[in-house]
Amino acid sequence: MLQATLAKRRGAFALDVALEAPEGATLVVVGESGAGKTTLLRLLAGLDRPDAGRIAVGERVYCDPAAGIEIPAWEREIAYVTQDYALFPHLTVRENVAFGLRARGIPRRDARVRADAALERLGVAGLGRRRPAELSGGQQQRVALARATVTGPRLLLLDEPLSALDPGTRRAVRGELRSLLAGLAGVTVFVTHSPLDATVFGDTIAVIEDGRLTQVGARDELLRHPRSAYVATLLGVNLLQGSVVSRDAGGVAHVRTADGTLAVADPGVDGDVWVTVHPQEITLYAQPPAGSAQNVFRGPVVEIVPEPPAGDRVRVALGTSPPLVAEVTRQAVASLGLREGVSVYAGFKATGVKAYQ
| Three-state SS at 229 | helix
Q: What angle do CA 316, 322, 323 make, to 5 degrees?
A: 25
Which is nearer to other proteins, 172 or 218 (by Cβ)?
172
**Residue 196 makes contact with other proteins by CB under 8 A:** no
| 322: preceding bond cis by omega (within 30 degrees) | yes
Which is nearer to other proteins, 73 or 332 (by Cβ)?
73
**Residue 353 makes contact with other proteins by CB under 8 A:** no
Which is nearer to other proteins, 42 or 315 (by Cβ)?
42
- Alpha helices by DSSP H, listed for the chain, are 37-45, 93-103, 108-121, 137-149, 167-182, 195-201, 219-224, 229-234, 330-336
Whether the Cβ atoms of residue 89 and residue 33 lie closer than 8 Å to each other: no
Q: How far is the CB of 152 from other proteins (least distance, A)?
A: 12
Q: How far is the CB of 113 from other proteins (least distance, A)?
A: 18
Q: Which of 39, 199, 238, 283 binds other proteins (CB under 8 A)?
A: 39
**Residue 103 makes contact with other proteins by CB under 8 A:** yes
| Dist. CA 348–CA 318, nearest whole Å | 14
CB neighbours of 59 closer than 8 A, spacing ≥ 6?
A: none
Whether the Cβ atoms of residue 24 and residue 81 lie closer than 8 Å to each other: no
**Residue 47 makes contact with other proteins by CB under 8 A:** yes
**Residue 79 makes contact with other proteins by CB under 8 A:** yes
| Three-state SS at 102 | helix
Q: Which of 83, 241, 261, 280 binds other proteins (CB under 8 A)?
A: 83
**Residue 163 makes contact with other proteins by CB under 8 A:** yes
- In Å, the largest CA–CA distance within the chain is 73
Which is nearer to other proteins, 74 or 250 (by Cβ)?
74
Choices 7-15, 113-121, 272-280, 296-304; region in contact with other proteins by CB under 8 A: 7-15
How many amino acids of this chain bind other proteins (CB under 8 A)?
A: 51
Q: Identify the bridge partners of residue 247 per DSSP, sorted by sequence position.
A: 253
> Per-residue x/- mask for other proteins, residues 278 to 307, rule CB under 8 A?
------------------------------
Q: How far is the CB of 121 from other proteins (least distance, A)?
A: 18
| Three-state SS at 44 | helix
Which is nearer to other proteins, 47 or 182 (by Cβ)?
47
Tally of helices (H runs) and strands (E runs) in the chain: 9, 21
CB neighbours of 8 closer than 8 A, spacing ≥ 6?
A: 14, 15, 39, 43, 48, 50, 51
Choices 60-68, 102-110, 119-127, 172-180; region in contact with other proteins by CB under 8 A: 102-110
Q: Which of 3, 38, 92, 351 binds other proteins (CB under 8 A)?
A: 38
Contacts to other proteins by CB under 8 A: 10, 13, 15, 33-39, 45-47, 72-76, 78-80, 82-90, 99-100, 102-104, 131-133, 135, 137, 140, 147, 151, 157, 159-160, 163-164, 166, 191, 193
